[in-house]
């Protein structure tokens, strides 16, 4: 298998170091168990569009920076597409969707409405960048764990949109990274994504059996096997 892998021709799409783009050829039949977390995810994606579309429209009206205007236009337009996909998925899964932003989102929109040309850009970029960073890990969790194919496909698409929007917002050059939440501390040793067999670890670290003793037992077994084989051949 190793030899076949080494001799196999390189994929021309990645031979030059191209970044792979995930395929979106996923089933979308509404098949599979639907959890409360799945439903909450669909609602969250809908809520994102309910406030980011008007926020993007405000950026086009209030900002004096062509970069921010272009970012607002792109984000608003892309959320229209994502919102359509979300409503289609919700209909298939019988998930009731909200029709207005939540309290926090309405407050952010009011901040933008009350901002002047000098303060709008910073508020717009920071609020949207923080919101995208918050939903980003939630999308990853659902994408990795859901049993429902329609939720899986929506998470796949939403992940691409969110990464694009974070990149767009960061291209403004005014993101206040210091105000973003920091990552949680790393998990302690033995608590990572690969399960650790504590019984095997205990046996390996046990002082009752030394490495030398194990080697002696193996050597004795080999000698005994060789002697037995020679006796059998001599008898025959």
Q: Which residues contact 30 (CB under 8 A, 6 or more apart)?
A: 92, 93, 148, 149, 150
Whether residues 48 and 163 fall in one domain:
yes
pLDDT exceeding 90 applies to what percent of the chain? Answer: 63
pLDDT for 186 equals 85
Q: Which CA distances in Å does 212 have to 39, 71, 205, 218, 225?
A: 58, 67, 14, 10, 20
Whether residues 165 and 213 fall in one domain:
no
Whether residues 42 and 122 fall in one domain:
yes
Whether 188 shows a pLDDT value over 50: the answer reads yes
Whether 205 shows a pLDDT value over 80: the answer reads no
Does a structural domain hold residue 128?
yes
pLDDT for 5 equals 40
Whether residues 51 and 166 fall in one domain:
yes
Tell me which DSSP letter residue 94 carries. T
Residue by residue, DSSP assigns 171-197 as TTS---GGGSPPPPPPPPTT-SSS---
Whether residues 124 and 219 fall in one domain:
no
Give the tens place of pLDDT for each residue, 100-130.
999 999 999 999 999 998 999 999 999 999 9
36-62 helix and 103-114 helix, angle to the nearest 10 degrees: 10
Answer for the pair 93, 46: CB distance below 8 angstroms, yes or no: no
Whether residues 164 and 213 fall in one domain:
no
Whether residues 174 and 108 fall in one domain:
yes
Whether residues 210 and 96 fall in one domain:
no
pLDDT for 10 equals 44
Between CA 154 and CA 22 the distance in angstroms is: 13
Does a structural domain hold residue 105?
yes
Q: How confident is the model over 180-191, as a mean pLDDT?
A: 81
* Residue among 82, 74, 68 at smallest CA distance from 112: 68
pLDDT grade for 221, boundaries at 50, 70 and 90: low
Does a structural domain hold residue 11?
no
The CATH number of whichever domain residue 155 belongs to comes to 1.20.1260.10
Give the tens place of pLDDT for each residue, 122-135.
999 999 999 999 99
Q: How confident is the model over 144-157, as a mean pLDDT?
A: 96
Does a structural domain hold residue 217?
yes
Whether residues 174 and 210 fall in one domain:
no
Whether 7 shows a pLDDT value over 50: the answer reads no
Whether residues 141 and 224 fall in one domain:
no
Whether residues 215 and 175 fall in one domain:
no
Does a structural domain hold residue 50?
yes
Does a structural domain hold residue 1?
no
pLDDT grade for 160, boundaries at 50, 70 and 90: very high
Domain range for residue 137? 26-179
Whether 29 shows a pLDDT value over 90: the answer reads no
Whether residues 117 and 221 fall in one domain:
no
Give the tens place of pLDDT for each residue, 55-76.
999 999 999 999 999 999 999 9
Lowest mean pLDDT among 42-56, 174-188, 192-206: 192-206
Tally of structural domains, the chain: 2
* Residue among 17, 119, 10, 6 at smallest CA distance from 62: 119
Lowest mean pLDDT among 29-43, 125-139, 217-231: 217-231
3-class secondary-structure state, position 169? helix
How many CB atoms lie under 10 A from the CB of residue 68?
22
């Amino acid at each position: 298998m190793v030899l076949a892998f080494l001799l196999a021709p390189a994929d021309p799409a990645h031979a030059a170091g191209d970044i792979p783009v995930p395929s979106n050829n996923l089933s979308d039949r509404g098949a599979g168990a639907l959890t409360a977390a799945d439903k909450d995810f669909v609602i969250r994606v809908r809520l994102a569009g309910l406030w980011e579309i008007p926020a993007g429209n405000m950026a086009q009206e209030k900002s004096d920076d062509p970069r921010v205007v272009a970012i607002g236009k792109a984000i608003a337009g892309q959320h229209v597409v994502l919102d359509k996909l979300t409503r289609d998925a919700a209909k298939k899964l019988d998930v009731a969707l909200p029709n207005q932003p939540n309290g926090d989102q309405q407050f952010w929109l009011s901040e933008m409405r009350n901002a002047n040309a000098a303060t709008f850009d910073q508020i717009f970029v920071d609020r949207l960048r923080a919101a995208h960073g918050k939903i980003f890990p939630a999308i990853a969790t659902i994408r990795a764990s859901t049993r429902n194919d329609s939720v899986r496909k929506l998470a796949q698409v939403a992940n691409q949109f969110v990464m694009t929007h974070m990149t767009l917002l960061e291209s403004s050059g005014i993101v206040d990274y210091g105000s973003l939440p920091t990552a949680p501390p790393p998990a302690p040793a033995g608590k990572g994504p690969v399960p650790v067999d504590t019984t095997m670890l205990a046996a390996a670290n046990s002082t009752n059996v030394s490495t030398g003793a194990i080697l002696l037992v193996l050597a004795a077994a080999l000698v005994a096997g060789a002697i037995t084989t020679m006796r059998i051949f001599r008898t025959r």
